[in-house]
Amino acid sequence: MKAILSVAVFGGALVLGVCGLARAADKVEPVGKWKCEYEIGDQKRTSTLMIKKDGDKLAGTMSWPNQKEAKLKDLKLKDATLTFSAVRKLQENEINVEYTLTIDGDKLKGKGAAEFGGQKQEFDFNGEREKKDK
């Protein structure tokens, strides 16, 4: 009876341990350089999203072909959802763009939203993490 109980306890611990490892492997990692694409109107656009760890917090920047390194604000990761905002400067206008993105491995997708002419407009946003050189 003791042997059966020991096997049952060990088996249960093993299952919990394996599940814990599988859960850890599923942990979302936002850090890296992301090449992103989106479309506003009929114009395709690109940006580069850089995310790093700053102690135990996330920090980052977003760059566009005609604007360098806007600091990300309110950068948060909850489960697989990454949220932040960045100020896009176009000529003399500053537009606050809010992003809600889902990370799946080395891909992200979601929405960007900004106010234009008093109306909030959303656009689809996709990105892929650049592979590190080995």
- pTM here is 0.78
Residues 54 and 98 in one domain: yes
Residues 60 and 9 in one domain: no
Asked whether the predicted pLDDT for residue 128 surpasses 80, the reply is: yes
Domain of residue 2 covers 1-28
Mean pLDDT of the chain: 84
pLDDT range class, residue 72, cuts 50, 70, 90: very high
Report CA-CA distances (Å) from 62 to 12, 59, 86, 118. Answer: 46, 11, 7, 24
Nearest residue to 111 via CA among 20, 40, 16, 11? 40
What is the per-residue pLDDT across 75-100, written as a single tens digit (0 to 9) for each? 999 999 999 999 999 888 899 999 99
Residues 95 and 58 in one domain: yes
Residues 11 and 41 in one domain: no
